[in-house]
Structures are given as C-alpha cells and as structure tokens.
Amino acid sequence: PVLVHTVTTKGKGYKPAEKQPSVFHGVGPFDIETGKAKGKSESTFTDSFSEAICKEAQKDERIVAITAAMADGTGLKEFSEKFPDRFYDVAIAEQHAVTFAAGLASAGMKPIVAIYSTFLQRAYDQIIHDVALNNLPVILAIDRAGLVGQDGATHHGMFDLSYLRSIPNMVVFSPKDGDELADMLNTALKLECPVAIRYPKAATVTKSAKRNYIEPGKGEIIAQGKHLNILAEGIMVGKAQIVRDELAKEGIDVGLVNMRSIKPLDEGLIQELATETPLVTLENNTIRGGFGSAVLEIISEKGLLQRVKTIGLPDTFIGAGTIDELYSEVSLDVKDIIIEVKKFLGLLCVVPEVAVK
C-alpha cells in the first residue's frame, strides 16, 4: 500500500487569501486587487455579540470563550486578541467544544460556546448528557439561526428551537436586536443553568451601554391589539412590526408581543391574550416543533378555545439564495405574512385551485 500525505496551503496562489485564509473560507463579492469585500458593511448580530462578550469578560475573569474553528465567523477574533489565555479553539469538534465547556463550568468558570446553529446539531448528545443533565451554567451563543442565504440547505439554522426547547433545565432566548442580545448575554451570566441565545445572520446595532435583566419566561408587550395579536420571536419582531403598521392603515388593529424567552414561555401572557383575540405566531425556525408548536401546546394544556395560526419556515429543506429571496420563496416576506393574516381573519377570500385544460 502507498500513502500519499499532501500538505496544502489554503488560498495558495492568491496573496490576500494566503494571508487571511479563514476570511476567504466563505466569501462574497470582493475587489480582486485588494481582497477587500465589496458593498456597504453593516453592523450585525455577530458584531453585537463580539462587543458584548468582550465587555463582560473585562468585568469577570471567569468568562472563557470556546469556538470550533470559527473564531472569525462567530465574532470571537477580538476576544481572542484581548483575552488569549481565556480563548479556546478546539478545531472542527463541536461535540468536544460542548463537553469541554461542561467541564469548565463544573470547575466554576463561565464558558460561552459560540457556534453556528447548523453545527450545534452535531453536539446534541453532549448538550443533553454533559450540560443539561448536570444543570451546568454553559452559555450557547448560537449564530446563524434561521435562514443564512447563499450557503444553502446545509447551513440554514432552521431546527435549533425545535431541538433545544425539548431539553430539561434549558433556557432559550431569541433577541430582536443587538441591545437585547447584549442584555441576554448579561442575564445568562447570572443564571445557574444552561442558556441558549439564538440570533440570525442579519444587520442590527447595539445602541445602549446600559444592560437590562431579561427575565426568563416573560414576553414584552409592544402593543396590544383588538382584532389580533402577533407573537413573534427574534428577528421576526421587526417583520411583525411592519405587518402591524400596514394593517393599521386598513383599520385592522393588530397587537405585537416580543416573545424573547422561548423556554420558558410566558404562559400567563399567552393565556391572557388568547382569551381576547385570535393569535398568530411568527418564527425564524421550522414550523414543526418550534415556537409556534410551543404556543399550541399551552393553548391545548390550558383548555383554551382560541384560533391560532402558526407561521414559520416550511417543513422542507431550503436551497441557496439571498435571505430576501429565500423569505419570498417560502412566503415569509411582509406581503405574504399580511396575506396570511387577512386570510386567517376571514378578510380575504381563499380561491380554490381549479385545473385548467
């Protein structure tokens, strides 16, 4: 037998890629001469996380950060430079990242595992047996939740709400913006249990330096409606606000609740709203077993006779495209949500499809 061991250089032949191989692992349009990305650079949820974890680490030496070969992608590069002795890159070994975090937590450290939603699936067994079963305060910073765009079906973070909310001892947060993400990280560091914070590949900003405690199991009422109330999670709160504004122009009074705590849910608030109006749930997760399903479980358990419409990502694998293109493809852009809400309220006639010869 002959064994050929070939050592390659990532980006070989293109100097900018050789100098920054991780940056060029997955790259959009860029200037061929300089290697710099084209287009306007916007602040993102990842940037907000990066800023927040560095600020928290300055105040508490027990905070450590763990990545699985994704320091740049998860926003941990700045942390690794400021706190090199508290940064761990375990390479492409997500299972080890989570178990390692469990060990650190059991020794009194405050580990934060920054990881893409789709890659966290590999560590499901470790989340259950090493973290949750022992009720250890490990924080999962779950980037790229929901649709991610051009990376396609293998990279969409469609399932984390479904597979995490079924685990005992787990708290699951979903921030609507950068400020709420920073608040949730600050809150998670105060809790003595596993916490998952899921956030999308999307633009946002962190405006306030003041941090607020986000109570697990409590939603935020943005507005209460007379005809309908939308319960939205994470980035979908912004879409729901636009839907609400557009429907208001037609005299339809729609309320909006930011369901920032997915587990535990605000059962009291859901029960209160369900006694007043029909409900629509809106999520950036598969419609199967996610946030909407959790609301339906509460409606059933409480014996409430109320109509609920769940809107989210379809029960299918979704391909590649820009995020806006994909939202349109799966009927999750604003105009499609408005149509679904009107149908649900009986304000649009649903015309059955008729075969045309």
Residue-wise pLDDT tens digits, 72-109: 999 999 999 999 999 999 999 999 999 999 999 999 99
Model pLDDT, residue 22:
75
pLDDT over 90, % of the chain: 85
> Three-class SS of residue 230?
strand
Distances (CA, A) of 103 to 54, 74, 97, 333: 22, 22, 10, 43
Note if 56 is an active site residue: no
Model pLDDT, residue 32:
87
Helix axes 178-188, 45-59, angle to 10 degrees: 40
Q: What is the pLDDT of residues 176-225, one digit of tens each?
A: 999 999 999 999 999 999 999 999 999 998 888 899 999 999 999 999 99
Is residue 231's pLDDT more than 80? yes
**Which residue of the set 55, 62, 77, 122 is catalytic?**
122
Instruction: Find out if CATH 3.40.50.970 is the number for domain 45-198.
Output: yes
Model pLDDT, residue 205:
86
**Nearest in space to 265 (alpha carbons), one of 165, 139, 132:** 165
Note if 244 is an active site residue: no
Is residue 28's pLDDT more than 90? no
**pTM > 0.75:** yes
CATH class of 220-345: alpha beta
**Domain map of the chain by residue range?**
45-198, 220-345
Residues 63 and 82: their CA atoms lie apart, in Å, by: 13
104 or 354, greater pLDDT: 104
Give 36's pLDDT tier (boundaries 50, 70, 90): confident
Is residue 27's pLDDT more than 90? no
Spatial contact of 351 and 339, defined as CB atoms under 8 Å apart: no
Helix axes 291-301, 267-274, angle to 10 degrees: 70
Model pLDDT, residue 305:
87
Give 29's pLDDT tier (boundaries 50, 70, 90): confident
Span 15-35, mean pLDDT? 82
Is residue 264's pLDDT more than 80? yes
Domain 220-345 in the same topology as domain 45-198: yes
Q: What is the pLDDT of residues 266-325, one digit of tens each?
A: 999 999 999 999 999 999 999 999 999 999 999 999 999 899 999 999 999 999 999 999
Is residue 173's pLDDT more than 50? yes
Q: Report DSSP state, residue 206.
A: -
**Which residue of the set 10, 38, 82, 226 is catalytic?**
10
Span 39-53, mean pLDDT? 91
**Which residue of the set 56, 94, 233, 283 is catalytic?**
94
Spatial contact of 131 and 98, defined as CB atoms under 8 Å apart: yes
Q: What is the pLDDT of residues 119-161, one digit of tens each?
A: 999 999 999 999 999 999 999 999 999 999 999 999 999 999 9
Q: C-alpha angle 290/143/114, rounded to 5°?
A: 120
Q: What is the mean pLDDT of the chain?
A: 94
Bond from prior residue into 111 cis (ω within 30 degrees of 0)? no
Is residue 357's pLDDT more than 60? no
Q: Report DSSP state, residue 36.
A: P
Note if 94 is an active site residue: yes
Is residue 335's pLDDT more than 60? yes
Give me 125's structure tokens.
Answer: 């067994």
